[in-house]
Amino acid sequence: MSCSATDLAVLLGPNATEAATYICGQLGDVNNKFIDAAFAIDNTYLLFSAYLVFSMQLGFAMLCAGSVRAKNTMNIMLTNVLDAAAGGLFYYLFGYAFAFGSPSNGFIGKHYFGLKDIPTASADYSNFLYQWAFAIAAAGITSGSIAERTQFVAYLIYSSFLTGFVYPVVSHWFWSVDGWASPFRTDGDLLFRTGAIDFAGSGVVHMVGGIAGLWGAFIEGPRLGRFDNGGRAIALRGHSASLVVLGTFLLWFGWYGFNPGSFNKILVTYETGTYNGQWSAVGRTAVTTTLAGCTAALTTLFGKRLLSGHWNVTDVCNGLLGGFAAITGGCSVVEPWAAIICGFVAALVLLGCNKLAEKLKYDDPLEAAQLHGGCGAWGLIFTALFAQEKYLNQIYGNRPGRPHGLFMGGGGKLLGAQLIQIIVITGWVSATMGTLFFILKKMKLLRISSEDEMAGMDMTRHGGFAYMYFDDDESHKAIQLRRVEPRSPSPSGANTTPTPV
């Protein structure tokens, strides 16, 4: 709103300058109140979204705990806590600056170290908190891949390196206004005239965490007993399906901050005076997220039934999360019906990746590399096929003739940008995290001893078990010890009644 006392005085008649000045002053105050309210609403929305994303850490902790054997419960829970704690400090000191320190170059940011000069017109504390929650989510993904056989010091080193450097560089490339492949570039020099579209992080978060976990698990090797001498896979089942389901629902809940929250603002109007605004796009994004996850869960349910003959709840939970990981990249730029296709294919990708992992004797206790890496890559390709031009222009700025989904008539340029994103993320994370895990192995800081692994990390590294339990193999031994043995024959030669031992 703007008001000119000179123009208004003419309308009010002679000797009305003071009245016009007063009216314009009041209108200016009202206008400032509207501006203040808009900042407050958008910051509150982003903070609430950050709280939801942070609650996913509890989901990760429960999912990880239920997916490992009981003798490693305390270890995996502690690593999840330290992902958040170590990640918080290193993202504060370095990570946020490397990711969003603008103005900078296309590779890495160079301002806001330790949140210096924050807040600004474009960056506030709420944005740091939200982005930190994303960074520790990537670290949490990796911890699942290397569970049950990794030294504690290795967790601290990789988590700090991932959240403080590796992940921030990738997020700078695709989410910063200076990133070389970002659709938010302010100079208009976009990759293939569109930039790589990864709205909430199918590539930036899920592929980064999944590929880091892939290298960690590959360099460490499988857990003891995961494959027999003939190479046949042996299931080392997690000890609690209840915790797996609880963790899955917590992650589902948090995903409504992960995807819809990635708009950062909600009070943005697309058409003045109508229902068509960012608040509607936020709702559509929540719907596409829901539909993709639900479809993937049902597809996995029936797919595993056909493959194994069982209705397996943990497999369904992983399928659900695979659907969420896939839709994350394009959740805001596709129609709800397309999300169903995304979830269906994501389930097939996860099933295929798991089969391939077994053949290659790759061991990932939580299927994290397959789920987040494989389904995340599919999510980027899916976006290139089904992204709507209208939604891209609303979110990333109006550019007539912008390349969009191949199946939506938008040509193949967006697909090219998405494939480049997959390649560079894979290469960057492999070069950095793969090298780190290799160095840790050479320094004998990566894997625990065979004796500690067999006994369980809770007892050998953390002072005791999380709770009283029997693993499957110990339960079988206990049952066998309860066998019935006959007494020695009596002196008369008569047998006595068998006595239970």
Q: What is the pLDDT of residues 319-328, one digit of tens each?
A: 999 999 999 9
Residue 10, pLDDT score: 62
104, 171 Cβ separation under 8 angstroms: no
CA angle 165, 167, 170 (to 5 degrees): 105
Q: Is the pLDDT of residue 5 over 90?
A: no
Region 426-440: what's the mean pLDDT? 97
CB atoms within 10 A of CB 400: 6
- Catalogue the long-range contacts made by 391-394 (C-beta closer than 8 Å, 24 or more residues apart): 391/281, 391/332, 391/333, 391/334, 392/183, 392/194, 392/197, 392/333, 394/270, 394/278, 394/281
Q: Band the pLDDT of 297: cuts 50, 70, 90.
A: very high
Residue 484, pLDDT score: 43
Residues comprising the chain, all counted: 501
Region 493-499: what's the mean pLDDT? 46
Query: Rounded to an integer, what distance in angstroms lies between the CA atom of residue 294 and that of residue 327?
Result: 11
Q: Band the pLDDT of 472: cuts 50, 70, 90.
A: low
Region 250-261: what's the mean pLDDT? 97
Q: Is the pLDDT of residue 492 over 60?
A: no
Residue 471, pLDDT score: 55
Q: Is the pLDDT of residue 389 over 70?
A: yes
Residue 501, pLDDT score: 37
Residue 1, pLDDT score: 56
Q: Is the pLDDT of residue 358 over 90?
A: yes
Residue 227, pLDDT score: 92
Structure-block tokens of residue 98: 């490397």
**DSSP element (H, E) containing 485:** strand 484-485
Query: Rounded to an integer, what distance in angstroms lies between the CA atom of residue 237 and that of residue 123?
Result: 45
What mean pLDDT value characterizes the chain? Answer: 90
Which of 12-16, 217-221, 442-446 shows the lowest per-residue confidence on average (mean pLDDT)?
A: 12-16
Region 486-493: what's the mean pLDDT? 48
CB atoms within 10 A of CB 216: 28
Structure-block tokens of residue 444: 């004998």
Q: Is the pLDDT of residue 387 over 70?
A: yes
In order, the DSSP letters of 154-209 are HHHHHHHHIIIIIHHHHHHHHHSTT-TT-TT-TTS--GGGT----SS-IIIIIIHH
Q: Is the pLDDT of residue 363 over 80?
A: yes
For the chain, percent of residues with pLDDT exceeding 90? 76
Query: Rounded to an integer, what distance in angstroms lies between the CA atom of residue 258 and that of residue 247?
Result: 16
Residue 467, pLDDT score: 82
Q: Is the pLDDT of residue 357 over 90?
A: yes
pLDDT 10s digits, 397-419: 888 889 999 999 999 999 999 99
Q: Band the pLDDT of 470: cuts 50, 70, 90.
A: low
Q: Is the pLDDT of residue 490 over 50?
A: no
Residue 464, pLDDT score: 84
pLDDT 10s digits, 106-138: 999 999 999 999 998 888 999 999 999 999 999
pLDDT 10s digits, 43-79: 999 999 999 999 999 999 999 999 999 999 999 999 9
pLDDT 10s digits, 173-182: 999 999 999 9
Residue 20, pLDDT score: 67
For the chain, percent of residues with pLDDT exceeding 70? 89
More confident call, 90 vs 487: 90
In order, the DSSP letters of 20-64 are HHHHHHHHHHHHHHHHHHHHHHHHHHHHHHHHHHHHHHHHHHHHH
pLDDT 10s digits, 157-212: 999 999 999 999 999 999 999 999 999 998 878 999 999 999 999 999 999 999 99
Residue 33, pLDDT score: 87
Q: Is the pLDDT of residue 38 over 70?
A: yes
CA 291 to chain centre: 18
Residue 30, pLDDT score: 84
Region 216-236: what's the mean pLDDT? 91
Residue 256, pLDDT score: 97
Q: Is the pLDDT of residue 486 over 90?
A: no
